[in-house]
A and B are shown apart, each in its own frame.
Chain A
């Protein structure tokens, strides 16, 4: 059972003039989880001011981020390693500003060209309308006594306009077009009259482009202009792509460097300072305490003091209660081996474990893959799970995918173990055993081979009603009860383990008595309910008489149950009795292990039956169609297995198990440290940083 790592609380004190170096050293050591200073915690202290280089670094970071956006660079995707000192030197010599101006220049140029193209497109559209009228561009303006209306109307009103005195109308009527181009030349005196007619017809004015000659000629000129501009737009894009390629390495690396520098520069905002000194409070894993002390001692000698305030924060809750508010919560640093580490993610989805409680990752790592494997329970379905899982564990980066890959891989292994040894199944068919066309198609029969005896003998043997099976039949009438019982037993064990962990937690946080009252009582209740239910089911369903062992079992069950309720009662009051049916529900909830396995086996049986019937039928079409049903059917079952087995397996952990002991609400251990992906040698840079500052 894994408790989070033990934490010590330290305070680092020194002369303010060397604060920047100390912060640098703390980042380099990467073990201090900073405790934020709040302004009124101690008299005489104030929050520190950002380090001198901080504001310049954040300005440059902004520029770099803008350049990233313009060049569509995603630093996470950039695979590069730059030397810290190189990037450092480049940034100092103004490379960031240089890149910024180059990028802005290129982007501006592209925007200008894009703008020009938009304008030309608009001009082309106008000219397209004008080209339908028999007039030259210069005909449309330059009159003193005439008013000119050029545009489009919804309804053809040329006759009405022409009826007005002193007008000349040009119109191009095309039934296919929604709007009709129109040009009206009218004496100034009749201007209002024409205007009224036009607006009634839905007139929209059109800007006549400058120029001379027929609009059609101007249009082809405009098209040529557009083509030329599009070519230069392409060139601009190429140039930007080139810039992106050229600078992505520098940009990604300097993003890392500057972001780190901003973080460091703003660290004083979280610590207490006076005019001449600073005080840094922090949590350090007990195992790393020596490393911190040695590291600081080596670099600063006696001028910086690392004082241990708490050698080790205990797991008793009273320690937390008596601490000062900002020192109350010790951070949780997961303490799992290589295997259980993969299951920290599902725990963190609920909440971070408290410092004082057992981290459930360990329990999940044992039961979750096992449940998953039991529900899948088929050798053929297991293999793709294992392959996908192995591939995911090797290549996946994101936390979500890694968690899924973990379940696939280890769950797949369990599925293979259960599928082969326990169920003796592949694709819903047993390897060996007595053949039955409907309920028990075997590989032995299907392939017409005789499997060796040793092969059969490593599977669970199972005989009933005179038929023999190797491996437990998931949906045989004789084995259903057995599988349900197995599920229930697994459930009882899982629930008891959960209560036991809860017991250990409370025992550690308070004392034995408290643990007995809070969790021990429930453990008794679970055992009592189980024994009682067993005895009653024997009586009711198996019709056994209430005598001998059964009677003693019944009495024992009642006694244990009463003891459990009595233990719980002081804490839980009536809840201790009201929750008893809940225990039965929780235990029966594990029957899903068998039920989901059965539902999948049922589907497999149906698909196999259909496919084999078709295959045995008529010729090539039968073979193709049968194979199709077989493949699609089993793929569907496999996909459903991900959802049902995965989700239900997880649910049993979350609801049935973790609810019994997990409290959560802890603070995750997040030490100050350098996290750059694109920089090498970043750990030996303290002196470079200093000169820059």
Chain B
């Protein structure tokens, strides 16, 4: 027995430094992404408080995105929004109009090159949140409209190949967006996309996905990752060198599914 314990100790002595080194490298790693969510007065700014906890391990385990572990909650009353270039706005009810100062900050955020993902967590069309957010976007971009984002857009190829537009609900089979500063600066989902990530302490999903169940959840997860990847890499996947690869994979997917 003593012999075994001694052997284990010797092994641990050799292996421990390796773990320490690995831990040290993790520590040194520069986070290149933070999940920054806007907290606005009135309404419910955080309908999926557990979403980031579900999304974080997926991003770190599957992609080369190195996010900060903690979610950042931003308010428009200070300058913190300008520390980020990708923010999330979510909600499930109407909210009062932003003040002129808050609108101005958002406008400058977009001027600087920021991108915003908006998620209507109601998963129904023409919800109170939908009306409020459209009203605010109209004030920030008086000359621009929310338009359907075509399926040729870089978002649909940023990491996963052409995921379906869905969430916990399927209110709209398309994303909407606003083009500004040579990029899609606003990406709007009405399907409660972040809701697919929310899990309880045992890892079970908090919300059911209807009507497609777990397959729908997987598609929604792919789309969410693609949106974050677009926030970091822009239209990289539309470069000419990716074209053949994407076309071939699309053909293959069509063969598998029998449709596209």
A and B: interacting chains: no
